[in-house]
Every structure is written in structure tokens, then in C-alpha cells.
Amino acid sequence: MTRRFTPTVVLKDNDVTDETIYTQRRKLLKQMGFLGTGALLSGGANAFGWFSDDEETAVSAPRPLDFKQNTTWGQDETLTPYEKVTQFNNFYEFGTGKEDPAKNAQNFKVDPWTLSIDGMVENPITLGYEELFSKFALEERIYRLRCVEAWSMVIPWTGFQLSHLLAMAKPLSSAKYVAFETLDSPTQMPGIRNAFVGGGLDYPYIEGLRLDEAAHPLTMMAVGVYGKTLPGQNGAPIRLVVPWKYGFKSIKSIVKITLTDKKPPTTWNQLAKQEYGFYANVNPNVDHPRWSQASERRITRGGLFKQTRIPTQLFNGYSEVAPLYANMDLTKQF
Amino acid sequence: MKKLFNRPVRIPAKQRIVTKTLFHFFAVGYLVWLFYAGINDQLGGDPVEALLNATGIMAINLLLFTLALSPLAQRLPCGDLITYRRMSGIYVFVYALMHFLTYIGFELGFDFSLIGSELLKRPYIMVGFTALIILLLLTITSVNKVRRKMGRKWQTLHNFVYLALGLAILHYTWALKTGWQSPVFYWIGAILLVLSRQRILRLLKINS
């Protein structure tokens, strides 16, 4: 049933950035920042995320997981390299800059962890850290991730179907929605401590799905990426992955899942209703008020001249979910 | 207004040449390095976003610096600081132009129908583009010959730099997903700068 970890991409030695070069790059960036901004006496240089002090501290290394591969999706896609998946993140609890979470989540403690499933269920469940990895057989799936900011990645997630967890909890027939909540830890998360770091969002971060969306076989609880446990910035120890919705629906570092009969409030929707709907299905025909959603920039390997802008597909190309929205006007319920 | 120095501080010609050369070196060098790193995929996860942020923020930083020269020249006093203003102002335009080119080229992939519709439909893009046009006009008219020809109109046109500053910071604020971020500090900086201009304050008083 389970099998040793075999990588889904074969990376050759020359694909790996030498660590010394990688750290030099950061150092060089920082020095350039100080020199450049210092010489020009320019104000507000502190706002420049990269140039603030970013001494690297020891990382608790992600450990390999046991899983089987599910080759149903994404086999023909070019994967986004691991270093980009783990260095370019939106996780405002750890800062609003894309490189902030990788920096600020290095010492994020996820063990012990408690994930509770409660509300309208016959069988409330509490999972400890180890159980997140052992309660269900893990599988790897390659999914596209489309951010609401019009960029996308292709990522091999390791985890299990949320439907398995829901089946175990046995939702009551009155349950209609599933609400999710991220850890709320001001001591560990600088963005919660300081509004300027966290963009002034209302924490804890909350998300929600309709029960049939949550139970759809595509919906996944991920505990790993690229065959290893999730780094903090990617939502350790457990996160949601809903590949046909914009990335912000895929809530990270979940501590609580609640079944309910009311449509749950969601963080970005509360901040700007007209910009972020409850459904947030990937849809090229419904623009974000401030930018087009008709196409997206796929982030893979390569510099400025290797950028690819590709058409965005309805439901991010996962047309199997279309029946969930059969009688809905997706331009109104976006 | 208390002045820091009793007598105007002079910057000798030699030092002026050295500091200007250094300024050119860093302003061009930083830009070249940014693009070099971006082309070689050494700007983090997404080189396009990194480049957009870096050029945009540097344009605003340089603009604030440029506009701070004149009040500094008055208050120190050190009139020679004004000789740096045109150079610094032109780099504001250069960085803003690179920011725009990065957006249409690397972000939108030179898809001209998309560029056209984004420019027309998205308020925050229009606001940024308007600031760029103002900076373009200021740059074109910064040649001495043109300046002389324009006479009094030159100053009127160049007063629009304050509008460009407001539009640039508005563009930055609007581009972000939440309001409570670094633009707050930029707004404070811009307001302090405007308050430091006696001429503007006088104008406002006359108008009110």
C-alpha cells in the first residue's frame, strides 16, 4: 500500500543551486539595498522587505513522508521548483511580503498540534500532531495552484482527501457548510502581533466551503509538499488545498474545522466583499475589480525572459467540479 | 525658522562632481544589477514581482529625496543642494519607466490588447500611468534650453511634481491587497514634505 518516497521530478545535480551561492545572493541583495538606499538617503527604506535584517536561523528540516502517488492529475505539467514553492508565499500571519513567510516562519513550532473537527457532527474528532500523518493513508497529487493575484504554480502535495476526514466525523444531515480556522498565535506569528507586519487583517484567518465542495474528491488536506512535511510558510503542519479555487481559500496551519448550517464568514471576503467572493472559484470571465483574471503568469524555473502568460481556465481546468455549480450565476456568486 | 548653519554651506565643485558620479553609479548600478539578477532568476520566487516592487519603490524613494532637496537647501542653508535636483529627478523617471516596462513586458507579456484594456479599466493602473506621463513631461522639459524658452510656464508645469507624488503613492496603496502597509509611511512622508514647503503653504493660505 505505502511505498518509499520516489520523487516525481528528476532533478539533476546541476539543477540544484549551491547553498553558498544561494546565501551569497541574499547577502548581496542586502548589501545592495543598504548601499543603494543609504547613498541616496531615501526615506522609507525599511519598508523594503528584502533589505531588512534577515539573518537566517536554523530550520527544522522537513522530513520525508511515506505515501503513494496518485497520477490522476497534472502528470503533463511542468512543476514549480521546490525553492520557489517554499520562498514565495502569501501567509500574512508571517508578513505581507512574498519572502516574509519563509523568513519569519523558520522557528514556527507545530509539534504539539491539535486539530479539532466539531460542530454539527456525530463524532467530533481531535487529531494530535502525529495523527495528522498516520490517521489516513497519504497520497501525492500534482495540482495547479492559481492565486487571485493572477500567478500560478504547479505543486505536488502530500496528504489525504478531506472527504475521508469528514466521513470519520459523520456530519449531521443539517450541516451545510464547513468552516476552517488558522492557528491564532501572536507569540509565534508577527503579523498577528503587529498590524503593519500582517497587513491589518482580522485574525484568526478563517475560511469556509459548502459541504459538497469540502466533500469533493479533489479537496485535499495537505501535510506535505514535494514528499516532505510542509515548511511553516506553506502552512505546516496541515492545510487545505482546493485546486479549483483561488489560493486564499486553501487555508493554512488549520487548528479547527467546524460543520455548520450557516454560511461561515471568510477573512478576505470580510475585508473586501466586492473583490473576494465566498466561492472564489477560478474564473477567467470574472475579473478582480483591480486586474484581469483572464490570464495568469505561470511560475516555473527561469528568469525574466522565460515568463509564460497562459489563459486561465474556468475552475482552474478542473471541470469535474462544474456540477457543483450547475444552477448558479457565477458572475454574481463569484 | 531656525537654521542649522549660520552661513550657507558650499559644496566645492570637485566634491560635487564626485558625489554626482557616485549617485549615477549607484542609481544605474542598482538598476543594472536588478535586471541582471532578474534575468538569471536570482530575485526570489517571482522575479517579475520582485522587479516591480523594487523599481516602483525606488522611484517613490527617489522622488521623495528629490523633493526634500529644496527645503533642505533653504533650511540648512545649502543652496548648492539644488544642483543635484535635476539629476535625481530624472532617475525618478528612469525608475518609473522601468517599472512600467516591467509591467507591460514581463508581467503582461507584451499582450497589447491586455495592456490596453488594463490601462483603460483599472483605476490604479491609470493613476500610476498618469504619474508616469507627468514625470515624462518634467523630464523632457528639464533641458536648459527648453526651460529658458518656457519662461514662467516652466515652474507651473513643474509644480505638477507634487501631483505625481500623490498619484504614485495612491497607485502603490491601491496595488496592495490591504491598506495597513508601508504606503501609510509614504503618505506621512509626503504630507510632511508638502508642509515643509513655505511656498505651497502660502499658496494654500491665499486660496482658503
The domain limits of chain A are 13-325
Query: Per-residue pLDDT averaged across A263-275, rounded?
Result: 96
Fold (CATH) for A13-325: Sulfite Oxidase; Chain A, domain 2 (3.90.420)
Closest residue in A to B116 (Cα) is A292
Percent of chain A scoring above 90 in pLDDT:
79
Contact status, residue B78 vs residue B8, Cβ threshold 8 Å: yes
Closest residue in B to A42 (Cα) is B61
Closest residue in A to B19 (Cα) is A39
CA A140 to chain B, closest CA, distance in angstroms equals 23
Most confident range (mean pLDDT) of A59-63, A235-239, B75-79, B116-120 is A235-239
Phi, psi of B97, deg, nearest 5: -65, -40
Contact B41 A301 (CB under 8 A): yes
Across chain A, mean pLDDT equals 88
Segment 253-272 of chain A within 8 Å of chain B by CB: 268, 271
Contact A297 B107 (CB under 8 A): yes
CA A33 to chain B, closest CA, distance in angstroms equals 9
Query: Per-residue pLDDT averaged across B34-54, rounded?
Result: 94
Residue B201 vs residues A54, B65, B169, B196, B204: alpha-carbon distances, Å: 42, 20, 21, 8, 5
ipTM: 0.84
CA B150 to chain A, closest CA, distance in angstroms equals 30
Chains A & B: contacts with CB separation below 8 Å: 140
Contact A36 B58 (CB under 8 A): yes
- The pLDDT score that the predictor gives to residue A46 is 39
Question: What pLDDT digit, counting tens, does each position of B133-178 carry?
Answer: 999 999 999 999 999 999 999 999 999 999 999 999 999 999 999 8
Please classify residue A26 by burial: count the beta carbons closer than 10 Å to its beta carbon, then call 0-12 exposed, 13-18 middle and 19+ buried.
middle
Dist CA A286 CA A282 (whole Å): 9
Contact A35 B26 (CB under 8 A): yes
Closest residue in B to A31 (Cα) is B30
Question: What pLDDT digit, counting tens, does each position of A28-47 carry?
Answer: 555 555 444 444 444 333 34
Dist CA A13 CA A86 (whole Å): 19
* Model confidence band, residue A133 (pLDDT cutoffs 50, 70, 90): very high
- Which triple of cell numbers denotes residue A281? 472559484
- Listed range (A79-88, A251-260, B3-12) with the worst mean pLDDT: B3-12
* Model confidence band, residue A145 (pLDDT cutoffs 50, 70, 90): very high
* Model confidence band, residue B202 (pLDDT cutoffs 50, 70, 90): confident
- The pLDDT score that the predictor gives to residue A51 is 43
Query: Per-residue pLDDT averaged across A67-91, rounded?
Result: 96
User: Which has more confidence, A21 or A89?
Assistant: A89
Contact A87 B123 (CB under 8 A): no
Query: Per-residue pLDDT averaged across A6-14, rounded?
Result: 66
Smallest CA-to-CA distance from A299 within A169, A144, A167, A187 is with A144
- The pLDDT score that the predictor gives to residue A61 is 82
Which of A50, A304, A312 to probe the B interface (max B CBs under 10 A)? A304
* Model confidence band, residue B51 (pLDDT cutoffs 50, 70, 90): very high
* Model confidence band, residue A17 (pLDDT cutoffs 50, 70, 90): low
Which of A28, A42, A287, A308 to probe the B interface (max B CBs under 10 A)? A42
* Torsion over CA: A87, A90, A95, A96 (sign): positive
Please tell me if residue A301 touches chain B, with a CB cutoff of 8 Å.
yes
Number of helices (H) and strands (E), helices first, in chain A? Answer: 9, 13
CA A2 to chain B, closest CA, distance in angstroms equals 32
Closest residue in A to B32 (Cα) is A32
Query: Per-residue pLDDT averaged across B2-16, rounded?
Result: 86
Dist CA A128 CA A108 (whole Å): 17
pTM of full prediction above 0.80: yes
Contact A151 B46 (CB under 8 A): yes
Percent of chain B scoring above 70 in pLDDT:
96
Contacts of A291 (CB under 8 A, 6+ apart): A149, A150, B118, B122
- The pLDDT score that the predictor gives to residue B1 is 57
CA B157 to chain A, closest CA, distance in angstroms equals 25
Q: CA dihedral defined by A160, A162, A163, A166, rounded to 10 degrees?
A: 120
